[in-house]
């Protein structure tokens, strides 16, 4: 299958636009609870990582939309996904260093694994594109889609956790 970037243009316009909009919303939501986020190492790490994940989606979309040789694009996607992979790996490392603190802050090993797998999927897509196989773009799109969905869910859990901190009652919430 030949690489046909024009077929993927709208997908990556949507991914780039969504991530840019969410970066702005994340900044606004974080600024409303800045003391709680900065004061809690887990919320701080998760908010930082979520912002970086959205920036990576934005940059990947930009790289795919810029006309360039497919081998160059593949190399760029490999590099950015390997850089991105360092964030959840660091999160996993810190999770095992302070598991109780991370669990109280809503951190989970599952999130680190999902984000790591997503970046590995994106890097694999870059490798496939570097080899001039067009279906690698499918892997990159899937990686960006999973990242976007997980960032939204992770951001919601951060804000729900921050919103739950000041409650001084013994009431529990049921689902």
Span 139-167, pLDDT tens digits: 999 999 999 999 998 887 777 766 655 43
- Is there a contact between 62 and 126 (Cβ–Cβ < 8 Å)? no
The verdict on residue 74 lying in a domain is: yes
Cβ atoms within 10 Å, residue 144 = 28
Per residue in 84-127, pLDDT (tens digit) is: 999 999 988 988 888 777 776 666 788 889 999 999 999 999 99
Domain count, the chain: 1
pTM of the model: 0.84
The verdict on residue 168 lying in a domain is: no
Query: Quick one: pLDDT at residue 171?
Result: 42
Q: Express as a percent the part of the chain with pLDDT over 90.
A: 54
The verdict on residue 167 lying in a domain is: no
The verdict on residue 151 lying in a domain is: yes
The verdict on residue 170 lying in a domain is: no
**pLDDT of 29 over the 50 cut:** yes
- Contacting residues for 102 by C-beta, under 8 A, at least 6 apart: 42, 94, 95, 108
- Is there a contact between 60 and 82 (Cβ–Cβ < 8 Å)? no
């Amino acid at each position: 299958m030949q690489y046909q970037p024009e077929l993927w243009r709208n997908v990556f316009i949507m991914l780039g636009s969504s991530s840019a909009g969410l970066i702005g919303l994340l900044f606004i939501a974080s600024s409303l609870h800045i003391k709680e986020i900065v004061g809690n190492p887990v919320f701080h790490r998760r908010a930082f990582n979520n912002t970086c994940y959205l920036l990576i989606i934005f940059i990947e979309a930009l790289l795919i939309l810029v006309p360039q040789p497919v081998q160059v694009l593949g190399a760029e996607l490999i590099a950015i996904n390997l850089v991105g992979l360092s964030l959840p790996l660091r999160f996993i490392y810190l999770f095992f260093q302070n598991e109780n603190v991370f669990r109280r802050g809503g951190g989970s090993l599952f999130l680190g694994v999902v984000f790591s797998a997503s970046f590995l999927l994106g890097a694999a897509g870059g490798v496939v594109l570097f080899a001039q196989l067009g279906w690698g773009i499918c892997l990159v799109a899937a990686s960006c889609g999973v990242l976007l969905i997980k960032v939204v869910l992770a951001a919601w859990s951060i804000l729900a956790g921050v919103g739950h901190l000041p409650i001084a009652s013994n009431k529990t919430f049921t689902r």
